[in-house]
A = this chain, B = another copy of it.
Amino acid sequence: MRERQLFEPKNLRKKLAQHSYKTTPQRKEILQVFADNSGGCHLSAEDVHEILSEKNFDFGLATVYRNIELLNELGILTKVDFGDGCARYELAAIDPDVHNHHHLICLKCKKVIEFKEDFLDELEEFIAENFDFQIVNHEVKFFGYCSDCKDKV
Q: Contacts A123-B117, A126-B119 given: A143-B150 contact, CB under 8 Å? A: no
Chain B residues positioned under 8 Å from A81 (CB to CB): 81, 83
Q: Contacts A104-B127, A113-B131, A119-B126 given: A136-B140 contact, CB under 8 Å? A: no
A123-B134 Cα distance, complex, nearest whole Å: 23
A34-B123 Cα distance, complex, nearest whole Å: 29
* Closest B residue to A146 using CB positions: B133
A143 contact from B83, B123, B136, Cβ within 8 A: B136
The yes or no answer to A138 lying at the interface (CB within 8 A) is yes
| Assembly stoichiometry (copies) | 2
A145 contact from B106, B115, B119, B136, Cβ within 8 A: B136
* Closest B residue to A132 using CB positions: B147
What are 9 residue pairs bridging A and B, where the CB atoms are less than 8 Å apart in the complex? A104-B127, A104-B135, A131-B146, A132-B150, A133-B145, A134-B145, A136-B145, A138-B140, A140-B140
A50-B83 Cα distance, complex, nearest whole Å: 24
The yes or no answer to A39 lying at the interface (CB within 8 A) is no
A150-B133 Cα distance, complex, nearest whole Å: 7
A72–chain B nearest beta-carbon distance, Å: 12
The yes or no answer to A107 lying at the interface (CB within 8 A) is yes
The yes or no answer to A137 lying at the interface (CB within 8 A) is yes
Q: Contacts A140-B139, A143-B136 given: A122-B123 contact, CB under 8 Å? A: no
